[in-house]
Structures are given as C-alpha cells and as structure tokens.
Structure 1
Amino acid sequence: MSESPTVLWSRPESERSGTPLLVILHGYGADEADLFSLAGQLPAEFTVASVRGPLQAGPGYSWFPLRNDLSYSVASVRTAATALEEWIDSVRANHSSVSLLGFSQGMCMATTLLRHRPADYAAVVGLSGFVVDAEGDAFFDDSAVAALKPEVFWGRDQADPVIPETAIESTNVWMRANVQLTKVLYTGIWHGINAQEISHVGEFLQYKVLAAK
C-alpha cells in the first residue's frame, strides 16, 4: 500500500503492546470519527483503531463504490480489502489478537477480510450490513471460513430501510453455512446502533475474545 490510512487510536502507541486490537470500519459517507465513541463503551482491554476508508463519498468516505454505482465491481472490494489487510499486517505483531467491527459498508469490509484469511481474526462484529456477493472471485476463500467456523456477531433491525432484502437473505445463507453466528435483531434502530446493541457487542467480545485466550 502506497500510504497508510488515517486512523484514530484509543490509546497512545506506548500503551498498545500486547493488547487485543479491535479495528473499527465505518459505513458509506462517514469517517473514522463516526464510530470512535464506541471505544469507550467496549471492554477496556481492547486497543481500538478506527480507520478511514480510502474513497471520498459525499461529506465523508467509503471503502468501495455502492453496488448500484457503475464503478462498482468485486475487484473494487478486493482492492480496498487488500490495502486494509496490508495496514493491519503492519500493526498485527504488536497485539495479542485482531478483531474487526464494521457498520453497514464497514461490515462488508470486515467480512471480506475474514473471507480472505479467516485464521487471522479472533472475532468479527457486523452491524446493519451484509456480506458481498463474491461472484466467484478467488480472494474470497469461503471453504477456509467454513472449515474454521469463526465467531461472528451480526446485529440489525428488520426494519432497516437501507440494506436490500436480497442482501440480507444472501447474508443469512452465507452466515449459517460458514461461521459460528451470534445474531441479534433490534427494534427501532433502523439503520443505526443503540446502547443495547453495543452492550451485546461488548459481551460478545468479552466472551469470545478476552475469555477465549
């Protein structure tokens, strides 16, 4: 990767060594500050790194073009994931484990990274998002994911007005075939996050990552 992404860290570099890392990935049109406040509501053992997407999108940024954009392709998802993976690899050795938390398009990114190298991640949290259609691209190694059955938390509102029902259905099928799924439905959060959901995410990370050492 030619340049490192913009990252907000929850603690200074001198205090990160040996801590579990949680990488937060924002949604379309947002930025690294959007979800950073979640860091204070999650288990204090984690070092949180909130990463900015590479593409300008309205007032914020995105990881790849929207599916209905003519410039969208699986290759654009793969390119973004590869660059993000390179950055994670550059900091991985400093941490006891790496977990991912993605909201909306950030969930697409988190699950794409998991599908490329599932053994690299202790757990993945996906909020109000979906899993991209791999369209046969070899970058997505779903057989390796299925063999490993990694821990995934998927939270959403059935009334989410943003994510298409077809994407939800295909994500349901993929999750049930490939991962150890913790799925929770919320009412009234629409395409968002509430305190109850973050409390559940914290419990999931505590149990699946911190207690699993």
Structure 2
Amino acid sequence: MTVRPAPTHLDGPRLAPASGRPARQLIVILHGYGADGADLIDLGRAWQGQFPDAAFVAPDAPETLPFEAVGGRQWFALSERSPDEYRLGSEAARPALDRFLDAELAALSLDGGALALVGFSQGAMMAFQCGLRRKAPPAALVAFSGLLPGAARLEAIGTESPVLIVHGSDDDVVPAYHAEAADQALTQAGVVSSLHLLSGLGHSIDERGMVLGGRFLERAFA
C-alpha cells in the first residue's frame, strides 16, 4: 500500500457570520469520500441561526478520485479499506488539514479553542485524526457516520475536546459497530465522548443528527 503526501493547499465554500459581526467561532465541515465541500456547506446554513457569530468553511479534500467518471474528491485513497489504510492515509492527510485550520483561525484572529471540527464518513476520520491531536484542543469534534482511525494509538493524545458520535443503525457503508468501537476507545483514552445511534438511518445525516450536532456545539461553545 502506497500513501502519497497530500497537497498543501486546501480551499472550499465559506459562510461569513450571519450577524455581520467579526467571527467568534469557526466551524469547519469535512466532507466524505467522493464528495466535496459544496456537498456539506448546507449543514452550516442549517446551523447559522444557532451560531450567528460563527464562520463556516467546508474545504475540498486534496485529491481527486482515481475514477475520473465518478467525480468528487478524497482525503486519502480507499483501496483496501483496512485499519492500516485508514490510519496511514489519515496520518498522511493530516498536515495539510492542520495548516489549513491554522491559516483559517489566523485570518479570523481566533485561537484554537474557538474551533469546532465536524466530519462525515471519511471526513469524520479526518476530524478524529486531526482534532484529537491539535496543540490547542478544539472546542468540539462531531463525527457523523465515520470511524476512528488508529484506535489503538490514543495513549498520547491528551485532548480536552468533547466528542459527539452520530451514526445510523442501518449504515451499510460504515457499519454502526465502528461508532461503538470509537466511543469505547475514546472513553478509555480519557476523552469525553457521547454516542447516538439513530434507528432506521443509513449512511447519511438526517434532521435528528443536525439537531444533535447543533445542540452539542452550543454546549461546547458556551
């Protein structure tokens, strides 16, 4: 398995604070495999009423998919879909995301505690991989329909960021046992983790998930 370093520059759709005032929070939304930032920026629009002073950004992942006809982007390649591939791929993609987060925070004159990372599927893997290891812990991490890469290597993370895990019980892409395993591993590592398994939901985010995520971020920023 060959893991390529990710390109260094990321960009994607943004939403300025609805209040018109300078941003007090930054909510970064990380899309899944085969999508792009435009696929999830509407999540920010749904939350703007709750966070009028938040800036939202949904960066496009650094790589195009190897299947040109399919379109979309990837944070790292998924060929084997094995634990080693998830860990090594997310580790290789992390530096570019870290630099992007640092630059976005600096542009808004915010510190790391004003940041929240929200990820879906492969984006949730990146939220875990990057967010748990930031020098300045984010205010919160939210993982929709994802898994925790490198679950056996959490001894030194030392993060204070609370984590929300939301997963569909009927997810046939990333089965729900991955959410339960992530919650258990994070709890054992001393992370405050909250797990919600949503009945009848597949590999997606529904109204229940948006409400849970919005309320969780409200508590974290408060």
- Check whether TM > 0.5: yes
* 1:66 matched residue in structure 2: 78
Q: Percent identity, please.
A: 28
Are residue 188 (structure 1) and residue 200 (structure 2) matched?
Answer: yes
* 5+ residue gaps, structure 2: 1-5
Shift of 1:40: 1.6
Is contact 2:23–2:55 with CA below 8 Å preserved after alignment?
Answer: no
* 1:151 matched residue in structure 2: 162
* 1:92 matched residue in structure 2: 105
Moved more, 70-79 or 107-116: 70-79
Relative to structure 1, the CA distance from residue 112 to residue 29 in structure 2 (aligned partners, 3 Å threshold; closer, same or farther) is same
**From 58, 61, 73, the counterpart of 1:53:** 61
Shift of 1:187: 1.7
Shift of 1:91: 1.9
Shift of 1:169: 4.7
Shift of 1:54: 0.9
Relative to structure 1, the CA distance from residue 20 to residue 59 in structure 2 (aligned partners, 3 Å threshold; closer, same or farther) is same
Are residue 81 (structure 1) and residue 94 (structure 2) matched?
Answer: yes
Is contact 2:12–2:60 with CA below 8 Å preserved after alignment?
Answer: yes
Are residue 162 (structure 1) and residue 173 (structure 2) matched?
Answer: yes
User: Structure 1 counterpart of 2:200, which letter?
Assistant: G
Moved more, 149-158 or 126-135: 126-135
Shift of 1:89: 0.8
2:152, 2:219 → 1: CA distance? 34
2:85, 2:39 → 1: CA distance? 24
User: Structure 2 counterpart of 1:68, which letter?
Assistant: E
User: Structure 1 counterpart of 2:193, which letter?
Assistant: L
User: Structure 1 counterpart of 2:165, which letter?
Assistant: W
Give secondary structure in 2 for the equivalent of 1:120: coil
Return structure 1 stretches of 4+ with deviation > 6 angstroms.
none
Shift of 1:166: 5.9
Is contact 1:22–1:100 with CA below 8 Å preserved after alignment?
Answer: yes
1:6, 1:144 → 2: CA distance? 27
Is contact 1:41–1:199 with CA below 8 Å preserved after alignment?
Answer: no
Shift of 1:106: 0.4
Moved more, 193-202 or 89-98: 89-98
- Number of residue pairs matched by the alignment: 202
2:194, 2:176 → 1: CA distance? 20
Give secondary structure in 2 for the equivalent of 1:196: helix
